[in-house]
Structure 1
Amino acid sequence: MIVSLNLPKSEENKREPLITGLDFLPDRRLVAVDSLNNKCMLLNEGLRRLGTPDTVKSSSPKDVAVLSNSEIVVTGVNFLFFLSVSSDNVISLTKQIETSSNFFSICCKTPTQMVVSTIDDPRNVRMINVDGVETNFQHVEFPKKAYKLGESYVHICSI
């Protein structure tokens, strides 16, 4: 079955939505990040909005990864935002950590460690843990070039 959804500009949105990040919670709810309106929202299997979208305190959140049954992480401009997701569809900020780079895509390597891609940083792909400790990959060579947004795209996905 293919399901699609048109998210038009609404009174609660300043701009037409641009979904730049998606991930599934274990209970099959879909978490979506709207980069242009700084929102994180939950959708059911039929793509119906659940609860009220949370405003991410970032100019332009980019991607989202599910950490557990009730915790997600959203990339922002030099920040990671950790949010709790309740069973009754309430999204709330639990902590935020400042990062050394502007992160774009993100995925979980383990429940406490994530892999991220960067924007405008010669360290194109990095690892970061839930405490904010950033590390580079060992024995993996990446181009020593800082790509601007739109010049290169590294999509991080789980295997």
Structure 2
Amino acid sequence: MNGDVESLDVEPWVSLLDALRDRLGLTGPKKGCDQGACGACTVLADGLRINSCLALAVQYDGSEITTIEGVSHPLREAFVRHDGFQCGYCTPGQICSAIGMLAEHESGMPSAVTESTHAGPTHAGPTRPEHTRERLTEAEVRERMSGNLCRCGAYNGIVDAIMDVAGQDAR
């Protein structure tokens, strides 16, 4: 957990979100909708973004779970620079999701706005060779981040922060 080994004894029905918040005291992941629709609970599991409210804690036994408390990434500062938050409730999930999203894009995983003939990444490597990888666009960021809602409407700042870290110009 965030670089430390944690051992928990939890019932099989306890969600990862509840284990993180109630058993480990990690309050970065938020319980928004508790149905996987808002993204406030997004964490990284072995580097992949997941909705921790939909995951059972026992499913991730032995996995490296990273919450916002364990994130050291340029996106944290970029969100501040670009006003990528207002109330801050969704920010931990937004940042964890953005980190996962950037890794997905870098690995060549297509999205709804990516033109690709490949079905997705394999364990053998990226779906697209390095030289054919599409440039990360604003539309791509917005589509890939669509699972994370911001009730304050800070989407433009969020996109600007992600584009900044990705080395792309927003708008």
The two structures have a TM-score, normalised by structure 1, of: 0.27
Q: Answer 1 or 2: higher relative contact order, Cα 8 Å, separation at least 6.
A: 2
Rg larger in structure: 2
The two structures have a TM-score, normalised by structure 2, of: 0.26
Instruction: Answer 1 or 2: which has greater strand percent.
Output: 1
Instruction: Answer 1 or 2: which has greater helix percent.
Output: 2
